[in-house]
Every structure is written in C-alpha cells, then in structure tokens.
Amino acid sequence: MGDLWCLNRVARLFIPAPRARMLGQWEVAMTTRQVTYDRAYGSLVRTATQSGIEVKPVYTPQDIADIDYERDIGLPGQYPFTRGIYPEMYRNRLWLKAFIVCYATPEETNRAFKEYIAAGQTGLRILTDTTTLSGVDPDHPLARYDIMCNGNPTFALTEYETMLDGIPLEDVDYESANSTPSGSFFTAVFLVGLVEKMGCDIKRLRGTNINDPIQAFILYGTPEFPMDLARRVTTDLIEFGAKYTPRWHPSTPDGYNMRDAGIDTFRELAFCIANIIQYYGDAIKERGVKLDDFRPMVFSTSAESDFFETACKFRALRRMWARIAKERLGATKPDSMKCRIAIRTAANSMYPQKPINNTARVAYQILGAVLGGVQSIDPSGIDEVFGEPSPESRIFELDIQHIIAHELNVPLVADPLAGSYYVEWLTKRIEEGTWKILNEIDAQGGMWAALKSGWLKQQFDIPTINLYKEIEEGKRLIVGVNSFKGEDGAISRAIIDSAYKVPADPKRFGAIDKVKRLRATRDERKVVDSLNELYRATRDGENIVRPAIEAAKAYATVGEMVGAIRMASGYCYDPYEMVQTPPFMKHLEPSANR
C-alpha cells in the first residue's frame, strides 16, 4: 500500500502541530473573506453535487481522520474491495464494452451485432421492443403503436434464432436490458432455449439478466405479472440459475433505470442493494440456494455527469456490498463478496439542444465510470434523444472507450483516485447516506413492503419533480438548455438527422403477419401440450423456468406463455383485458377450471 495515503498518515503522525495551525489560519481567512459570485464570469451556481451533497471548497486530512486504510480501503482484489475487485484491475481485463443493440427487425439487429463485435463490442446487450416487453404479441390490439419501437419484437424463439444467427452462444457475455417482470423472464427462457436447441451447453452461457420487478412496478407498471406472480417468477429464475446456468446471473437490480427517473445516488444504491437483499433473501429462505452458488453479484447502475460523485459511488457500492454479502446474506467465498458493476451512462443527461455537447457528456461519464473501476459500460448514444443510436454513434462510443484505454492510459493503475481527501470523504459520505435509506427500508420490512405501502413511489416522484424545478429555476445549469444556449450548427444538425428512426407503419405491421404466420405453421399439438405443462407447473407451485423453455422451443409466443401463467394463477388471459383467450387455450381459463 505504498502510495500517497501512507505519506499522509506519516505526516499526520509526525507534524500535527504545524498542519493544525496552517488549517486554522486558512479557515479564518475563508470565513472572513467576502465571496461574491459573478455570473458574468461564468461563476458556479451551486455548492452541492448532483445528489445535493453540500461540499466544502477544499478537503484536508481532517476530513478523513476516521477512515482506516486497511479496514475501509485496502487493496484491489481484497475485502472490502473499495479499490476494485481484481488485484491488477484493468491490466488483466478491461471492462466489457456492452451496449444495447436493438434495431427494428431481428435481421437488422443480427447484422448490427456482427458489425459492432468487429469494432470491439464485448458485451451483447439485448432489448426487445416495447410491445414484447409489455408481455403481449404484435397482434395485440394495443401493439400497433409500439411494434418495433426500442427494439425488435422477439415474440417467439424464431426471432432469437434470427437475431443471434452465426454469433457464438457459449463464453460470450450476453446481457439483458429487458427489465419488466416478463421481459426478464423471457430473455432467460429464449436464451437458454436457443443455446439448447443449437446443441450448446447452458453451463457456458455467460452474462447477466437485469431482473428487478420492484423497479419495474414503479417505472414500467406493466400488469402482465401482478406482484405475487412477479415475486415468484424472480425466485424461480434465481433458483434455476443457481442450478443450471452458473455463469449467467439470473437477477441483477436495475439501478440505472431507477436513477434515470430522477432519484439521487443514495436512493439508487440503497434500492439496488435492498432489492438484492429481497430477491436473493427470498431464494435463500424459500429455495435453499446460497449466495456462494453464484459468480460475483452484478449491479446495474448509472454513470452521471457529476464526475466525482459518479466515481465515488462505485467505490462506496463495492465496500457496502462486501459487508452486506458477508454479514447479512451468508457469503463465505471472497468471490461472493465482490460485485461486478455494470453501468449505463445517463440517457436523461442527453439533450436535444446543441446535441454536439452530448459527445462531451458521454465521454466524461465513461471516464468517471472507469476511474470508479466498473466492469461493464453501456454508453448512451449522442443521438439517442432523437431515436435509436445510429451505427456511427455506436462506433464512436466504442472509440471513446478505446481512446480512454489506449491514449489516455487511465486503466494502467487501479483506483487512481484513492487517497484524495475529497474522494475518500465523498465515498464515505455516499455510503453513510445510503445506509440511512437502507435502514428505512429495513424498518418497513423490505422492498416488496415498501412498494406495497406506496413509500417507494413517493421516493421517486418527489426528487424527480425537484430535479426539474431546479433546472427550471436555474439552480442547476444544463449547457445549451437553460444556459449557454445557441443555435444548432451543421454538426448538430447531422447528429439530429442520423438517429435511427422507427420504421414506417407498413414495415412495423409486418410483425403482425409474421406472428400470424408462425401460428399457422407450427406444430399446434406440441404448443398446446407445452402450454398445458406450463399451466400445470404454475398452478402446482413448481419452478416454471424449465416448462417455459420447453414451450418456447415448441414456438409458443410470449403472449401465450404469459396467458398460461396468468390463468394458472387465477388471472384472465390478457393483462390488458382487450383480447379473448385463443381457442386452443380456452380450456385453461379460470372459469373452465372451477
């Protein structure tokens, strides 16, 4: 641990008196000085970080006097992992360059994956369209608006076959961004189904499933799996993952989406950790799994524009998780006390006014994440606020990361910010604020209870409204938006025009014909048998992941599988109560089974 930190400690031991006198004189000078903020010179408008942490003009050894290097910071690769989870950090392995690839059709998405892999993409992140994410098929009456929006409609295994055709399935990192309750479930079901169908080994399926129904109830609100069902399906996925897919993480919290909705960093971390305690706590209690059954936990979080807050957040998260995993969730292996951090850069920080500025935002956000020692980076597109990121903007985001790695030389040294008085103080301050929220959640009996009582929703709405008020009132400056405004030039115009737009309606509605064609050509006997089995397993309280995989292999659709699971739980077929049960599933209706 020979670094600046040690020198500070030595200094404090041997020359305390002059330092105290020096600080005292400085403090007197500061308090008697008249500070005027002159906007004409571009003065700062705030003295707090993005999450409202008031900060002093300077930090000194006194601010970190209660931090013990060995106990609180330590070395990379060692408990409590504040400085990173690998001894040599990025020297051995750079972060995954993982972003969502989700164009309107599985064919386009397949071509894009191949192009991006060639350009350096190492984490393949899947996002389905908004319709499928909501638990229905393209021929649902409400689907016409959102078919092919934000992704391609992966309503059946056929679409995964096309989307991942020719791309290795083993030993490649697949990440899912489908974070509604059914979205997470079907990503796992289709991926495992495809791996098996191609004759590959599901033990070698690698990656992460964002699976965070509590977050989804607040932010998506899709009704396909009501709370009891969503809770059970999540526990099923964790149990299945522990037994059969040791390298595919079955459930990671979606801190990114929560943060993007406008909450502060304390709540982002606290809700992530509390959700993990809830989901894995359920599985440990009810299914006999152990945290040691899994590879290091994955946290999906956000990288924001506030530079130091972003970098420090990841240090705080690792330290907190290590303690919680060990002391609360019974981890005994060091690996289970580590967490891998996957970030997405903040899409809500990208603005349509002077979009050229988004290039600076995304680059600094990535840099903050790298300085914080994260394992996976998914940047927002500089044109994302106008549509899906264009191929060039995706390649540009990869290049930012290549520049940081190979030109800036930032990853050469682990946790290079450690030992800074401010960074260590801020890391601790974020941790303290997060513990406070965690204790509030514990007092309520966990996150499902906090969701049901309405407390959680309030935690989201109030900060979101305050955030926008601050922007409106000029207490938070956004360049080009509420300050430093200007016209779009040729470069900004090109960014606006290059975003990938939702296709015209005739192409979008092609998916309706496609699902109808599938229904007409598949082996209906197999479909009905497998849906019957999915229904039975759901009704009898068995783990439903395997029966759903078998139904997917028989080409049952998302809407049909959702319907079977719902009916076996006493709900009607269609979550949106707009379509009738299909004739071949009529016998599964709750009324037919009374």
Q: Tell me which residues touch another protein (CB under 8 A).
A: 130-131, 133-134, 136, 141-146, 149-150, 180, 219-223, 260-262, 348, 351-353, 385-387, 461, 464-465, 468, 472, 478, 481-482, 496, 501-502, 505, 576
Nearer Cβ to another protein, position 386 or 535?
Answer: 386
Amino acid at 134: S
Nearer Cβ to another protein, position 413 or 477?
Answer: 477
Amino acid at 160: Y
Contact 174, 200 (CB under 8 A): no
Distance CA 111, CA 488 (A): 32
Report the run of H or E that residue 519 belongs to, with start and end: helix 505-521
Min CB(354)–another protein separation in Å: 10
Nearer Cβ to another protein, position 78 or 359?
Answer: 359
Nearer Cβ to another protein, position 208 or 358?
Answer: 358
Min CB(367)–another protein separation in Å: 24
Distance CA 376, CA 97 (A): 6
Min CB(452)–another protein separation in Å: 18
Nearer Cβ to another protein, position 241 or 255?
Answer: 255
Nearer Cβ to another protein, position 122 or 348?
Answer: 348
Nearer Cβ to another protein, position 218 or 311?
Answer: 218
User: Per-residue DSSP letters for 430-464?
Assistant: HHHHHHHHHHHHHHHTSHHHHHHTSHHHHHHHHHH
Nearer Cβ to another protein, position 131 or 184?
Answer: 131
Min CB(388)–another protein separation in Å: 9
Distance CA 488, CA 235 (A): 50
Q: CA-CA distances (angstroms) from residue 174 to 13, 80, 123, 238?
A: 50, 28, 6, 17
User: What sign has the CA pseudo-torsion 344, 346, 347, 351?
Assistant: negative
Write the DSSP symbol of residue 297: E
Distance CA 428, CA 324 (A): 16
Min CB(229)–another protein separation in Å: 18
Min CB(560)–another protein separation in Å: 18
Structure tokens at 577: 């109560």
Distance CA 314, CA 431 (A): 10
Min CB(387)–another protein separation in Å: 6
Contact partners, residue 294, CB within 8 Å, separation at least 6: 241, 242, 246, 249, 336
Sequence length of the chain is 594
Min CB(513)–another protein separation in Å: 18
Q: CA-CA distances (angstroms) from residue 493 to 353, 383, 482, 565?
A: 10, 10, 20, 48
User: Per-residue DSSP letters for 34-85?
Assistant: -----GGGT--S-SB-TT--B--S---GGGGTT--IIIII--TTSTT-TT-S
Min CB(533)–another protein separation in Å: 29
Nearer Cβ to another protein, position 309 or 574?
Answer: 574
Min CB(472)–another protein separation in Å: 6
Nearer Cβ to another protein, position 171 or 505?
Answer: 505
Min CB(464)–another protein separation in Å: 6
Q: In which residue are the tokens 């050509």 written?
A: 521
Q: Phi and psi of 100, rounded to 5°?
A: -65, 130
Nearer Cβ to another protein, position 44 or 504?
Answer: 504
Min CB(164)–another protein separation in Å: 24
Nearer Cβ to another protein, position 182 or 530?
Answer: 182
Contact partners, residue 2, CB within 8 Å, separation at least 6: none
The β-bridge partners of 97 are 377
